[in-house]
Amino acid sequence: MKSSALRAVRRVRNDCFPVTPLLGLRLRTPRLELRLPDADELVELAGVAERGVHGLDEMPFAVPWTDAIGTLDFVDEFVAFHEGARERWGPDDWSLLLAVWAAGRLAGSQELSAEEFARRRTVATGSWLGLEFQRRGYGIEMRAAVLELAFRGLGAEAARSGALDGNVASSRVSERLATRPSARRSSPRVANRSASSATS
């Protein structure tokens, strides 16, 4: 493992909101487990991304982070991004970057984030999967898991999940889970829809 990546993950910030309890968070679906990755797992997750997330002729992300794959600093910057999200964590403004395991293998990442959560009660989601884990229905299953957490666990009232034009896979996941920009959903409806979609 690169020493700078290890230092980034193990760095302790005394002035940040304590996120240690989040390390015990586990979200499980019929086929997946979602949780915060440790130091070694973050570097391994970067390796999943390096093996490919999308075709060379497409860019499904608003922030083209995959353009940095193959550069000398990619792993360090990847780790620093995840660590930075933990350092900036606050009660109202946060980004939960969970790693996703499928059959015990790291497959990708699922984000659940919010700004001014106490006032807006709105969350946003974003995700990616390594190419070898795509087209198996995992995208629906992992997003359903964090929506269950958001609505039933945190009391969210709305969820946003946007996709760039041409990102057909992400758009289909949103349609299956009925998440639209500012679309309001009660937790029972999200939970029921998630359960019916999880095995697809």
The whole-number pLDDT of residue 176 equals 57
Side chain identity at 89, as an amino acid letter?
W
pTM: 0.77
Side chain identity at 86, as an amino acid letter?
R
Side chain identity at 45, as an amino acid letter?
L
pLDDT in tens, 77-91: 999 999 999 999 999
- Look up the CATH number of the domain holding residue 128: 3.40.630.30
Residues 6+ apart with CB under 8 A from 180: 160, 161, 174
pLDDT exceeds cutoff 50 at 11: no
Lowest mean pLDDT among 3-12, 53-62, 101-110: 3-12
Exposed, middle or buried by CB within 10 Å (0-12, 13-18, 19+), for 27? buried
Q: Give whole-number Cα distances, 12 to 24, 65, 77, 81, 114, in Å.
A: 18, 25, 17, 15, 23
pLDDT in tens, 49-71: 999 999 988 888 888 999 999 99
Structural domains of the chain, count: 1
pLDDT, mean over the chain: 80
Tell me what the mean pLDDT of segment 173-184 comes to: 47
Range of the domain at 31: 3-197
172: enclosing H helix or E strand: helix 168-177
Q: How many CA atoms lie within 13 A of 20 on its CB side?
A: 5
User: Residue holding tokens 């997003």?
Assistant: 143
User: Residue holding tokens 């829809």?
Assistant: 193
pLDDT exceeds cutoff 70 at 45: yes
